Amino acid sequence: MSAREIYQQRRVLYAYHEAGHAVVWHAVGGLVEEVSIASSQADYRGFCRFGFLTPKLDDHQSPDEWLQRGRIDPRTVTAYYAGMLALAFYCATYGGEDDYVEGSEQDDLEKIDSLLPQLSPDEQQRSKLKEACWQEAQKLLADHWPAVQALATKLLKRGALDGKEVHSIIWQTIGYPDADWRLQALNIIEREGASNRCSLYGYQHMTPLSSRRS
């Protein structure tokens, strides 16, 4: 395989990794600011920039407390796991297990390890939390896999997408909500017929993955 072919193959893998992050962050109520795989650097793998995360309905913190806490939330752990899971599922389904980019998950695992002590001082509780977030990431990816495919495809064409483009692609694939603060925040206008586009993306249900986790 030529260097050019290897580069193109890696771009596909990175696109699915970052698309997994973005779709799950969207699904848990977060604002995606930007997603990118665009760079000429040899060791560059892309990024997904997480923005504001909405409080849960049963969260009793004050607005000031919530803003101070920011993304210190189990849903952030879930979104960090989503990148490696999306990549692993893509490789297992389309590219073969040997195509998985070893070490691509290291940065996400370090972020998770840094975040967990802020969520719980108890090691046993942190272990349960990691398992719950891992399982939740798998479920959300399974439920939203057409959106991951659509977003990865667009990333390969464009290299980088801003938040408005990311959320629009996701909603065009899975359907627009009746109401969502991100529609107004990003000035997104629903396109006619967009809510029916899910069937255009050849939905394939994601099977659970139990590997590639620390």
pLDDT digits (tens, 9 = 90+) for 36-75: 998 655 556 789 999 989 876 665 555 555 555 667 899 9
Rg over alpha carbons for the chain, rounded to the nearest Å, is 17
User: What is the CATH code for 3-201?
Assistant: 1.20.58.760
pLDDT at 129 over 60: yes
Report the candidate in 45, 35, 46 with the shortest Cα–Cα distance to residue 161: 35
Indicate the DSSP class of residue 33: E
pTM over 0.75: yes
Q: What are phi and psi of 30, to 5 degrees?
A: -95, 160
Per-residue pLDDT band at 198 (split at 50, 70, 90): very low
The C-alpha atoms of residue 140 and residue 214 are separated, in whole angstroms, by 20
Given a contact cutoff of 8 angstroms between Cβ atoms, the answer to whether 36 and 18 are in contact is yes
Report the candidate in 69, 71, 65, 66 with the shortest Cα–Cα distance to residue 49: 71
Encoded tokens for 30: 């977060």
Question: Hey, where are the domains in the chain?
Answer: 3-201
Report the candidate in 23, 7, 6 with the shortest Cα–Cα distance to residue 151: 23
Establish how many alpha carbons lie within 13 A of residue 207's alpha carbon, considering only the half-sphere containing its beta carbon. 5
